[in-house]
Structure 1
Amino acid sequence: MRVSTSQTYQRSLSLMSNLSAKADLQQSQIASGKKVMAPSDDPGAYRQLAGIKRAEAGDQAYAANVETAQGILEQSDDTLGNIEAQLQRATELFTNAGNDTLSPSDRDTIGKELDSIRDTLFALANTRDSRGQPLFGGATGDLPFTKAPDGTITYVSSGEPAGIPIGDQTVIQVGVTGDRAFASGSSDIFAVIAAFTTALGSGGDIRAAASTAAAGTSEALVNVTLAHASVGARGTRLEMVADQLGYAATARDDARSKVEDVDLAATISEFQQTLTVLQATQASFTKLTALSLFDYLR
């Protein structure tokens, strides 16, 4: 009888301990809304959640990079638009300067405006992005254009700038190097404008100089337009990547919810049942421990 009573005590104690632990877990799940909070809760589910969190962290970094890249491309788009406007104005001035009816004073005014346009283009060509990197620079990260004491403007960068990671083993270039954009060969707009203003001031064949300058500016405009289109295409690509990252985030959130989130109504119901069983077990154990040896002998 002593052995039997001892075993009964032990079974009751073990049952109450298990029920109490179960009630504590259910209560924690109800409070947190999570059913997996530690590896011991569900090792397989915990590993799955860890994988989801790693993927989420990686994609969040890529999403931040996409946002940065989009901002830089928007800045490039605006800057290239300003450059196009300056080139178009320069073309108008070349045409006007070739008019034989203009006075020397008018030509002087045109020359001064062209010098201002050249300075504006120089500043635009050395624009820095939100990271402090030149929009039209090369691999070194230095300003791409320099101006010599005599006013000569030269492209000094080389190579391609580092791309921005936007996915696993995927990077995107957000800049256009200055030599490709508006400073290559006969379309070097800085040289084109400088040559024309020199001719304008010397009083030579302005009509021929204006024709040459207009041709060079037209070629430069083609280069800028191509760079502008390239920026737009990359912006479209980034929109697609951003959408894909958004879809992946939604899918991961659904997967995480299925593994981790508690069915609150069901868990509350189970918690109430656990408490009921625990209370009944505690009541039975109390009665059992109150039994004396006399109670057994009666």
Structure 2
Amino acid sequence: MQVATSLFYDRNAAAMQALQSHADTLNTQVATGKKLTSASDDPVAYQTLRGIATATANDTAYKGNLTLAGSLLTQTDTTLGSITTQLQQASSLVLQARNGTQTADSRKIIGQQLAGIADSIAALANGKDARGQPIFGDANGGAAVTKNADGSYTYATTTGSPIPVGEGQTVQTGDTAARVLTFGGKDTLGVLSTLAASLQAGTATDGDMGQAITDLTDAGTQVSDVQASVGARGARVDILQSTLTTTANDRETLRSGLEDTDTTAALAELSKTMTILSATQASFTKLSSLSLFDYLK
């Protein structure tokens, strides 16, 4: 069989070019640490990597939101705990006032203290979170608790927008003042202010004080129920944070397998390729230098 000289050169040149191109690719992979330099290298893997990048960006935002939600829920829980403390103090004062040894003047002082506790609870309920939003009111910034001219109280019945913490998932970090401070058709601050006024006026009866103790116990139970709900939301945030971390680790493992260069394997392959290229070049040089007389020997 006869092989044309041009065909001989073309075949060898193509082989050496392919080897050189493969060596260049391996060099680039080692230098950049990336196996894929363009979508054409592996279209399926490239598309998967784009999806991973999008999911990672979304989870970065969700991670920040979860951190914020956890912090705000802690603040809400702390505020509810402070309200509970105030209610316990109020119950203790009413028990003192109900003691038969108390004088009218001492009951008047207790009434003043109860009025101060009502103001303190109202101030706590009107507190704002780290974002400057009402903890127990709506996102418009209105007061969660408003004291009316007749001494009664109006409570916010809506709260701020929930925080997105995952695909289709949100967490409400606050609650409504109405849920925190109303129970069984009564309101906590109304109970306190009414008894405070009657103690200061000297008109409070033993029955009034007994009913107030019962009402304050119910008020404390209501606050505890809300606090338990906040605690459950906090536990959910913890679970979501843990899940997010696990998902991020799994996603990174997948990304690395698709994109990152196995440096040891790539260097070994490069060494093998360069050896073959050198041998091919040497062979081509030797064969191309032979004359007809060399073939006839």
When the two structures are superposed, what TM-score results if normalisation uses the length of structure 1?
A: 0.87
SS of alignment partner, residue 224 of structure 1 = helix
Distance in 2 between residues matched to 1:5 and 1:231, nearest whole Å:
85
Q: Does 1:269 align with 2:268?
A: yes
Q: Which amino acid aligns with 1:223?
A: Q
Question: What does 1:245-260 correspond to in 2, within 5 Å?
Answer: 245-260=244-259
Q: Could you report, residue by residue, the CA deviation over 1:136-155 in whole angstroms, capped at 9, with x for unpaired residues?
A: 12464533222346654321
Q: Say yes or no: does 1:158 pair with 2:157.
A: yes
In structure 2, do the counterparts of structure 1 residues 132 and 120 end up closer, same or farther at CA, with 3 Å as the change threshold? same
User: 1:97·1:207 contact (CA, 8 Å) conserved in 2?
Assistant: no
| Partner SS, residue 143 of structure 1 | coil
- Per the normalisation by structure 2, the TM-score is 0.87
In the TM superposition, residue 277 of structure 1 has moved relative to its aligned partner by 2.4
> In structure 2, how many angstroms separate the alpha carbons of the residues matched to 1:94 and 1:28?
80
Secondary structure of the corresponding residue to residue 174 of structure 2: coil
Residues paired across the two proteins, number: 292
Q: Does 1:120 align with 2:125?
A: no
Within a 5 Å distance, the mapping from 1:1-298 to structure 2 comes to 4-138=4-138, 140-148=140-148, 152-155=152-155, 157-184=156-183, 186-284=185-283, 291=289, 295-296=291-292
217-226 vs 82-91, which moves further: 217-226
1:83 & 1:24 partners in 2: Cα distance? 70
Q: Is the CA contact 2:111–2:198 (under 8 Å) kept in the aligned structure 1?
A: no
Deviation at 1:119, TM superposition (A): 1.9
SS at match of 1:181: helix
Please list every run of 5 or more consecutive structure 1 residues that lacks an aligned counterpart in the other structure. Answer: none
Moved over 6 A (4+): none
Counterparts of 2:279 and 2:147, CA distance in 1: 91
- How far the C-alpha of 1:287 sits from its partner, in A, is 5.5
Offset from partner CA, 1:267-291 (integer Å, 9 cap, x none): 11001112222333444555567x4
Return the letter of the residue paired with 1:121: I
Higher mean displacement: 90-99 or 27-36: 27-36
Gaps of 5+ in 2: none
Give the conservation status (yes or no) of the 8 Å contact 2:134–2:144: yes
Q: Secondary structure at the match of 2:203?
A: coil
Structure 2 CA distance, aligned partners of 1:254 and 1:179? 48
Please, what is the CA RMSD of the aligned residues? 2.5
